[in-house]
Structure 1
Amino acid sequence: MRINYVRRGQGKPLLLVHGLGSSWRSWQGILQPLAARRSVIAIDLPGFGKSPPLDGAVTVGALADALEQFLQEHDLIGTDAAGSSIGARLLLELASRDGVLGSVVSLGPGGFWVGWERFLFAASVWLSCRLARSLQFAMPALVSHGWSRHLLLARFSVQPAALPFSMVLEEMRSYASARSFEAVLLALLREPAQRGADAGRMPGPLVIGWGRLDRICLPRQAARALQLYPGARLHWFERCGHFPHWDAPEETTRLILEATAD
């Protein structure tokens, strides 16, 4: 299937995979500094941005298969990758498949929830999507004010009022136009949590990044992630919410470049 992507910079390839409801534009805050050192490929997942939805059932496995097919078609098997939220979860899935990825940075990955935590995640992102769709007619005016940015993104960022106007507007437009939002959200609700992988199965270094103030995937889930991926290194982002590349772009850039260096 066709997956939309942009490519910036030169050098060793680096794949970026966005979160639920977003598009490749979610990475705009760190795309340029990453592209100064790497050849960055930022994709739109199937059913998001400009990528068409999957044919057939939408599952986490099917999304991972589509991503692996994209890597094969573009001669990117074994490439380094960084992902956020559902994108981070998909990279963990691919990292457990022999040789598909190199080094991986997984930021706020979903799937390590237990009990009601799964529904907290679903309710938070569903509400954000509903707000974005219902208020789309007034979105340019809304995101120009700090108070309304806080209303729209307080679950995702600890400082939504400080986020760039253009990035917030693009994010809200991505949420409103995401054709596979509900299908992927239902898949995340219905499917089992992360399975994990033995350290010996991971082809390259794995770093899991977590915001200390993440209100979507709660920080206590990080301990479960390390139990399921015992070879991983955990990096805490202080004063960060669900998207470290929004709240701490410089720190996130350094982490990705250091973790995926030769």
Structure 2
Amino acid sequence: MKMDSQKQVELAGQPHLDRQRVPHHVAIIMDGNGRWAQSRHLPRVAGHQQGMQTVKKVTIAASDLGIKVLTLYAFSTENWKRPTAEVKFLMQLPIRFFNTFVPDLVAHNVRVMVMGDTAKLPDGTQNAVQGALDATKNCTGMILNFALNYGSRDEIVRATQKIAKQVAAGALAPEAITEEFISQEMMTASLGQFADPEVIIRTSGEERLSNFMLWQAAYSEFVFVDEHWPDFDGESLKQALAVFQSRHRRFGGLKNK
């Protein structure tokens, strides 16, 4: 079904995007940096370096399209298992990214937010992230939300622990725990009405969520593209969103109801 929708959009030539129906919250699993580098006989870190440049291009493209929140899966709780040298390089990327890109973010009125266990990041990375948060805190346009040292199961465990403590303290009755209450304990709660992404895009041909926004993805559309993340750009984003717009979201109801 996914391929049929994509083929229909591709046959039409340039993707036709209804600017009135651009999703408010787009999330992207940025996959394929290493495969991109290996296909060019380059070290994996070269793919991560190029992927950082893609983040800059896609951020501006998303902002120009009127997207309200762009969430990027930058570093997962499982990524610590990678070789030490690669992890060290990945921890340097936010420093390089924010040192060079914050002025552009401010110029485009983009506000940086972060979700994940950032306390476990190296001090230099934490300082760079905090600097970007401070520098863009007054921006009122698109939110660029980085999932950094983020894992959805970890997020759900933390939310459950907070709720359990309230119940144990007698401050919360178990029957008062609703979907809305749980959502307010998630790391996306600060995004308000845009907490749940309408569409999740994953690059590099893989078709899984990899512990990303499991709670928030309950009714998200998934668009899987074959391009490795370093090859993804503004036109790729439009193409993916055109696929999203070609679908009918029923939320468990009936199409014509």
Fold agreement, TM-score > 0.5: no
Give the structure with higher Rg (CA).
2
Q: TM-score, normalised by structure 1?
A: 0.32
Q: Which structure carries more relative contact order (alpha carbon 8 Å, separation 6+)?
A: 2
Q: TM-score, normalised by structure 2?
A: 0.33
